[in-house]
A and B are shown apart, each in its own frame.
Chain A
Amino acid sequence: MSGPILEALDVHYTYPDGTRALRGVTLRVPEGSKVAVLGPNGAGKTTLFLHLNGLLRPRKGTVRFAGREIRYDRKSLGELRRAVGMVFQDPDSQLFCASVFEEVSFGPANLGLAPEEVRRRVREALRATDAEDLAERPTHYLSYGQKKRVCLAGVLAMEPRVLICDEPTAGLDPRQTSGLMELLDRIACRGGTVVIATQDVDLACSWADRVVVLKEGRVLGEGPPTEVFLDEDLLRGADLTVPWVVEVHRELVRRGLVPSCAPVPRNREELFDLLPAAGATAARSEA
């Protein structure tokens, strides 16, 4: 991780109908990090994301990319959107083309690449999202999960430095969800930066290395998941629940089964790693 690649500084935004969606949001996304933006419905997650690739312009405050304040002329926006890819929540509002292959080719074609390069990128993006077998299918006969994968492929084909996904797992079954999160992990492993919006605290806890809690257009708290999810007041204030793994860990500590100095586990595996010691003690005392 290095300096922030994307920053929102004191961003305010009011929709034309008077809804004050953002009231001074400050967000830093370090390069190569996995950031989860958490918050209830209407917290301003989507509005914030729309600012990060220049689709909305803040009424007050600034957005910076790679240390430079973004500008809103056609050329600068084109460059920004090449670097910051955005996957929307509703796949039907993103998929405009009846052919999956052509749909995915739209982004790279807009970059002015040669057709062969566009085709190479399309095939690579479809492979990365396990959607190769969908290339010849019409968009309207895909299932919801397949549509989501095609949307992601359409953005990955632009090879962005930052990938922003609005509620990527909403509407997916558990297997699809874990598959998608693995894919986002792979992207981050290759040095990419991934930002997601979610309402799933368990998912955010196990996947992200930085969590931002948003409510009513303000940032209530941010930090590594092991800090944010221990702050009960913060979670309650944002109408969020405590991740089950943190809750179980707390209960284990309370009952003395796990030493209180042990690091807070972020997922099932880390929790299980804490357990054998306690199990062994119990077995020994029984013997």
Chain B
Amino acid sequence: MLHIDRYAYRNRLYGVHPAEKVCLAGTALFVSLAGAPPLTPLLALVVMAGATVGWAGIPWRYYLRLVAVGLGFLVLGLPAVALQVGPAGDGLLWGVRVGAFFLGLDRTGVEQALHLVAKCLGAVSGLYFLALTTPVTELLRVLRRVGFPDLLLELMDLVYRYLFVLLETAGSIYVAQAARGGYASWGRAFRSLGLLVSVLFVRAHHRALALFTALSARGYNGSLEVVGPEYLSSWKNRLAVGCLTVGLLVSWVLTGGGAHVRAHP
């Protein structure tokens, strides 16, 4: 989580206009979910993985680990999709008899599972691209630009900012407790953790009060209005983003567009 955040500020696409990155990631997400599986989503996966590792310069080992995390959740859910239960064993590619029923894999089940994997990986690759190349602050700016409600944006900004303060506070309390043997045994560890959590709540409350005072000192009047820097949009980046986006959309159309969605309502 923190690694993702760090990469978001330190990648080769850092200076690129966030709206361009949102556009590319959004397209990948769209063609993965709405395109004909497994070809279109896998194409999106290849393009986005290439952009993330090759263009933005995220180490491929780290990228694979992130994909593996997504894949892990996916694998856990696959049996429910792929396995069929029926009274007859014919038509199954593989099956076992459980009492009066057969449990096994048939062609549709396997296909559905593969499609699901492809769709998820394609969609996730789009989100990973965005998460790894675009800092949250810039995403918020894009959302503000497109008219996202201010209240939600302010909440997101505060949550994001104070998440780190909370982590830091929790970390230092933990170290202080551990230094005095607070985690020497299971019993002590539970007790210490309970204390840590309760102290965190109190601290969070105090911090909220202090923040309100500090904001008031700078003329806070109910809305956290800020002004972001201006972006220098480069033609080269626009062209690259534009080509990739159009490429993805064209491949989506060529592979039948959203036809299969209508075919299986």
A135 to B15, CA, bound (A): 13
B210/A88 in contact, CB under 8 A? yes
Across the A-B interface, how many residue pairs have beta carbons closer than 8 Å?
A: 107
- Partner pick for A109 among B160, B161, B225, CB 8 A cutoff: B225
B214/A140 in contact, CB under 8 A? no
B227/A110 in contact, CB under 8 A? no
Which of B74-82, B185-193, B216-224, B236-244 binds A?
B216-224
Q: Across the two chains, which residue of chain B brings its CB closest to A107?
A: B218
Residues from chain B with Cβ under 8 Å of A81 in the complex: 216-219
A265 to B218, CA, bound (A): 38
- B94 contacts chain A at the CB level, 8 A cutoff: no
- A102 contacts chain B at the CB level, 8 A cutoff: yes
Which of A115-123, A170-178, A196-204, A227-235 binds B?
A115-123
Q: Across the two chains, which residue of chain B brings its CB closest to A164?
A: B217
Q: Across the two chains, which residue of chain A brings its CB closest to B136?
A: A98
Q: Secondary structure of the A side of the interface?
A: helix
Residues from chain B with Cβ under 8 Å of A135 in the complex: 229
- Chain A residues 87-137 with CB under 8 Å of chain B are 88, 90, 92-99, 101-103, 105-111, 115, 118-119, 122, 135-137
A109/B9 in contact, CB under 8 A? no
A82 to B165, CA, bound (A): 28
Q: Across the two chains, which residue of chain B brings its CB closest to A140?
A: B164
Q: Across the two chains, which residue of chain A brings its CB closest to B138?
A: A99
Residues from chain B with Cβ under 8 Å of A103 in the complex: 226
Given A90-B210, A138-B135, A140-B165, A97:B157 Cβ within 8 A: yes
Q: How near does chain A come to B143, taking the closest CB pair, in angstroms?
A: 13
- B205 contacts chain A at the CB level, 8 A cutoff: no
- Chain B residues 106-163 with CB under 8 Å of chain A are 135-137, 157-158, 160-161
Q: How near does chain B come to A140, taking the closest CB pair, in angstroms?
A: 4
- Partner pick for B207 among A93, A97, A115, A137, CB 8 A cutoff: A93
Q: Across the two chains, which residue of chain B brings its CB closest to A84?
A: B217
B219/A107 in contact, CB under 8 A? yes
Of residues A101, A103, A110, which shows the largest number of chain B Cβ atoms within 10 Å of its Cβ? Answer: A110
| Size of interface on A: residues with Cβ below 8 Å to B | 43
Residues from chain B with Cβ under 8 Å of A122 in the complex: 227
A94 to B161, CA, bound (A): 11
B221/A74 in contact, CB under 8 A? yes
Given A96-B211, A102-B137, A86:B228 Cβ within 8 A: no
A93/B230 in contact, CB under 8 A? no
- Partner pick for B228 among A92, A94, A101, A107, CB 8 A cutoff: A101
A53/B217 in contact, CB under 8 A? yes
- Chain B residues 206-265 with CB under 8 Å of chain A are 207, 210-211, 213-221, 224-230
- Chain A residues 137-164 with CB under 8 Å of chain B are 137-141, 154-155, 158
Q: How near does chain A come to B164, taking the closest CB pair, in angstroms?
A: 4
A82 to B221, CA, bound (A): 13
A110/B225 in contact, CB under 8 A? yes
Of residues A85, A93, A141, A158, which shows the largest number of chain B Cβ atoms within 10 Å of its Cβ? Answer: A93
Q: How near does chain A come to B155, taking the closest CB pair, in angstroms?
A: 12
A82 to B219, CA, bound (A): 7
- A55 contacts chain B at the CB level, 8 A cutoff: yes
A135 to B231, CA, bound (A): 13
- Partner pick for A158 among B14, B158, B215, B219, CB 8 A cutoff: B219
- A78 contacts chain B at the CB level, 8 A cutoff: yes
- A5 contacts chain B at the CB level, 8 A cutoff: no
Q: Across the two chains, which residue of chain A brings its CB closest to B137?
A: A99
A97/B226 in contact, CB under 8 A? yes
A119 to B160, CA, bound (A): 23
Q: A99-B137, A106-B225, A109-B227 are in contact. List 11 more A-B contacts (CB 8 A).
A: A78-B221, A86-B217, A90-B210, A94-B214, A96-B158, A97-B157, A98-B160, A101-B229, A102-B226, A106-B215, A140-B161
Interface residues of B (CB under 8 A from A): 5-6, 9, 14, 135-137, 157-158, 160-161, 164-165, 207, 210-211, 213-221, 224-230
Interface residues of A (CB under 8 A from B): 50, 53, 55, 74, 78, 81-82, 85-86, 88, 90, 92-99, 101-103, 105-111, 115, 118-119, 122, 135-141, 154-155, 158
20 contacts between A and B (CB under 8 A): A50-B213, A53-B217, A81-B217, A85-B218, A88-B213, A90-B210, A92-B165, A95-B161, A96-B214, A99-B135, A99-B226, A99-B228, A102-B227, A105-B228, A106-B215, A106-B224, A110-B218, A136-B229, A155-B218, A158-B218
